[in-house]
Chain A
Amino acid sequence: DSGVTQTPKHLITATGQRVTLRCSPRSGDLSVYWYQQSLDQGLQFLIQYYNGEERAKGNILERFSAQQFPDLHSELNLSSLELGDSALYFCASSVSTGYPTDTQYFGPGTRLTVL
């Protein structure tokens, strides 16, 4: 158990809908990262937050957005869902940011299925 929690574990929804994925980092970690794992794209970095502020952006679609709250939990919002958004979404956390020395610890993931 990494100490990172994600809810829900599974999510099934329809095209065009909007969903919110939630992540709580390990105790003491200030950075939260979101990754998407799909069959065709593999594991891809989406976005990073540090202490409430966006720090880095990867291949995140404009239909997707995220935020980190004062209690450091984070939410990833996916809207206007398409079939291709079906994937496993991981949240990871680390102590700080800006230093590649940080190890990212991953949550169990949320499996999103868009029908």
Chain B
Amino acid sequence: AQKVTQAQTEISVVEKEDVTLDCVYETRDTTYYLFWYKQPPSGELVFLIRRNSFDEQNEISGRYSWNFQKSTSSFNFTITASQVVDSAVYFCALSEENAGNMLTFGGGTRLMVKP
């Protein structure tokens, strides 16, 4: 069965610090997809990134970067030079090819960026 673990329930940093959010997943499928979503205080879920299991290249988008390592079943998310607007709950999610398009979410990491 698929499972996503976000061990950090809450992280607090000061503005301009770098922060890494951890995500570890479990799956028996060889084809699967990993996602990160952001849930700001307003409550909506905002899509950030999708990664398939065959693409281990790291990705950078502005201050955001993602490190996918199949060897450790991890898909970590780093925010460089954090800003107050980054304060939110971040969810890692997994979908398996054999389970259709259903998303299994981790428990989320609440990031608080203080000025």
Contact = CB atoms under 8 A, between A and B. Distances in A.
A and B: bona fide binding partners = yes
Interface of A: 2, 31, 33, 35, 42-45, 48, 55-56, 58, 88, 90, 92, 94, 97-109, 111
Interface stretch (B15-23, B37-45, B64-72, B80-88): B37-45
Contacts of B52: 100-101
B44 A45 contact: no
Given A33-B101, A98-B100, A2 B44 contact: yes
B101 A104 contact: yes
A22 B63 CA distance: 36
Nearest to B37: A106
B25 interface: no
Contacts of B99: 56, 100
Interface of B: 31-33, 35, 37, 42-47, 50, 52, 91, 93, 95-97, 99-105, 107-108
A101 B33 contact: yes
B44 A107 contact: yes
Helix, strand, loop or mixed for chain A's interface?
strand
B75 to A, nearest CB: 14
B10 to A, nearest CB: 14
10 contacts: A2-B44, A33-B101, A43-B108, A58-B102, A100-B97, A101-B52, A102-B101, A103-B50, A106-B45, A108-B43
Given A48-B100, A56-B99, A101-B33, 15 more contacts: A2-B44, A2-B46, A35-B103, A42-B105, A43-B105, A43-B108, A55-B100, A56-B100, A100-B99, A102-B101, A103-B50, A104-B47, A105-B47, A106-B44, A106-B46
Nearest to B29: A100
B107 A42 contact: yes
B102 A56 contact: yes
Contact of B101 (A2, A100, A105, A107): A100
Contacts of A101: 33, 50, 52
Nearest to B91: A43
Contacts of B31: 100
